[in-house]
Amino acid sequence: MGYSIAVVVLLLVHVCTSGRIVREIGEKCQTPNLEAGECRNIKNCPALLEYVRQSVAPTSTFLRDSNCGFEGLDALVCCPELSSRLTPWENGGNNRNRSTSTTRRPSSNSPSRISGNECGRSNLQIDRIVGGTTVALGAWPWVAALGYRSRTRSDLQWL
């Protein structure tokens, strides 16, 4: 009985860890595009942060394949060298050695910001306040104060 449990546990460990090598910050790695990279906190990887901001469908798969561990709650990713820019979705998600040079986009004539008198207003006739109180324009009704009590301290701790 003990032997079969040990085999099952080893099999589960193998399945859970196969293909996933946990690396440390600064270690060399290979991107999903088979390019040289360095394991970094995603907050310190401009190339991959750009993909997060663009929210293109294959991005989640590409980011998952770029993962090389965690630093607290932040993902560590295999960040490509700064000389190239990954393009995982240009060829339908086929991540094979696709790179382009890093050039700035020409600035566009973007519309001006919405004035404070218009922001937050809608021409919809649906009343979105359900069982609550209508708030003034500019108020932040979605903001909440979060607090907790721990086993060691009885006073309320605020986040």
Beta strand segments in 10-156, E: 28-30, 36-41, 67-71, 74-80, 85-86, 99-100, 147-148
In a domain, 129, yes or no: no
Token output for 47: 């190339």
Q: What is the CATH number of the domain that holds 66?
A: 3.30.1640.30
Q: Would residue 121 count as lying in a domain?
A: no
Q: State the pLDDT at residue 11.
A: 38
In a domain, 125, yes or no: no
pLDDT tens string 28-63? 999 988 889 999 998 999 888 887 777 666 677 888
Work out how many domains the chain is built from and give that number: 1
In a domain, 15, yes or no: no
Residue 93 CB neighbour total at 10 angstroms: 13
Residue 110 maps to a domain? no
pLDDT exceeding 70 applies to what percent of the chain? 52
The pTM of the full predicted model, rounded to 2 decimals, is 0.41
In a domain, 32, yes or no: yes
State CA 79 to chain mean position distance. 14
Q: What is the mean pLDDT of each run of 10 residues along the chain (159 residues)?
A: 47 42 82 91 88 71 86 88 52 46 57 62 61 76 82 86
**pLDDT for residue 9:** 45
47 is a domain residue: yes
